[in-house]
Amino acid sequence: MLLRLLSSSLGRSQAARELRWMQQARDSGASCLSLEDMVNRRLTGEPLQYILGTQPFGPLNLLTRPPVLIPRPETENWVIKLAETLSPTPSKPVTLLDLGTGSGCIPLLLCHLWPPGSINAHAVDVSTHALRLAEDNAKLCGFPSRSSEEKPHNTFSSHKANFLAQDFSQVASRINPAFDIITSNPPYIPFDEYLKLSPSVLNFEDPKALFGGPSGLEFYHAIARLVSSKDILRPDAMVALEVGHNQARSVESIMRATGRFRLTEIWLDPWGKQRTVIAHV
């Protein structure tokens, strides 16, 4: 009966997979919902990740709660590549600023992949819901806000701030005087594409985490203002920005126009799309 209901909405093969995952969540105790309740919520179009309450992200299994943006596989891909590109160590740690952190997935995966004591991550978001979820994920993953001298840890701290604000560079410098890495998967969907999003995204995920202004580039201009600030980037710093459909060249130009970077490059995602703009000081 439940499989038939789901199949009418998702198709039989996808319905069978999702029903199996729901049953596994029930059997493991990860969810206290009945299978019927989960199916009924799914039939309304609610994303499965919100119903199950978790989403794999690299080796991590992160908590998910509406309306915070659900971590995507294309983000996971470039974060893992970033982790493989850089090699921080406890003797030469890096300081990271993640803008619009959402679930905290980007800095937390880097904290997991790099050696203990090699990264101090700072996460910024305007959403109280997002910051609460990011903090819960940091606790789940075992990353404290401070490291101890006896046993170094990779650390994660969260900060409520709006990086669109004209004075955000002053806020960032109070968080930490300068950064080795700035990362962001900012809102980048332009208005015309936002209206065409699937109902499961449009009706459940926070529009503030999706809509990037009329052109979709509003937040990249804000990041450009930040990196143009004196001393916010340390020597040899890197900026890594996820971008949307057909935005890579525009975002690359925005970063180059700051005059702060000696090199920029564009990384493709596993589906061949230009997904990440990398800028090197």
Domain(s) of CATH 3.40.50.150: residues in the chain: 73-280
Tokens of 124: 């910024």
Give how far Cα 12 sits from Cα of 2, 4, 5, 9, 18, Å.
11, 8, 10, 9, 10
Handedness of CA 162, 167, 173, 178 (dihedral sign): positive
Over residues 213-247, the pLDDT tens digits come to 999 999 999 999 999 998 999 999 999 999 999 99
pLDDT, tens digit, 9 for 90 and up, residues 105-115? 999 999 999 99
Fold annotation for 73-280? Rossmann fold (3.40.50)
Decide: 121 and 133 in contact? Cβ < 8 Å.
no
At 44, list the tokens.
């309304």
**φ, ψ of residue 254 in degrees (nearest 5):** -60, -40
Task: Give residue for tokens 């996971």.
Answer: 76
Cβ neighbours around 33 below 10 Å, total: 17
> What is the spatial distance between Cα 101 and Cα 198, in angstroms, rounded to a whole number?
23
| Mean pLDDT for the chain overall | 94
pLDDT at 149: 64
DSSP-derived pairing of the beta strands 179-184 and 94-99: parallel
